[in-house]
Amino acid sequence: MVSTTRDPFFFLKLSVEYSALHQQETLFDNEAANSNKIRALIMNSRTPSIRNAAYVPRIYEFLSTPKILTMEFISDACKLTDLNNIENMGLDVKAVARSTIDVFAAQIFRMGFVQTDGHPRYISPS
């Protein structure tokens, strides 16, 4: 972590740190590996409520490159903020919220690995 304590090179160090993180985020092979890892962790969770509450789309590695990520399309998903659609799916909004919290808590406290890409197709009730 970069310290701001009267460091004349603070912004340079921050820029270097950001650049390294940004470069990792734009390599989709890294994203695919993270997605496959969290998929395996969730599918093999010892907690049935985690296995049943979360689904991580498959990555089609044979169609992916470091610049293109091809993954399974989930057609019946919606944003977590789309409460009307969640209710129209026959789901309880509070139960969906609780499941989302439980899955992220399991990632943090049990699995030690968190997939934080909160795009609508990554985190969605269905």
pTM exceeds cut of 0.75: no
**Catalytic option among 7, 92, 102, 117:** 117
The span from the CA of 120 to the CA of 45, in Å, is 23
Q: Render pLDDT for 32-45 as a digit per residue (tens, 0 to 9).
A: 998 999 999 999 99
117 flagged as catalytic: yes
As to burial, measured by CB atoms within 10 angstroms (0-12 exposed, 13-18 middle, 19+ buried), residue 85 is: middle
The span from the CA of 94 to the CA of 92, in Å, is 6
Domain residue ranges in the chain = 10-111
The span from the CA of 7 to the CA of 18, in Å, is 17
Amino acid identity of residue 40, one-letter, is A
Q: Render pLDDT for 83-119 as a digit per residue (tens, 0 to 9).
A: 999 999 999 999 999 998 999 899 989 999 888 765 5
The span from the CA of 92 to the CA of 82, in Å, is 12
Half-sphere exposure of 26 (CA within 13 A, CB side): 6
Structure token pair of residue 25: 């985020």
Please give the average per-residue pLDDT across 68-78, as a whole number: 88
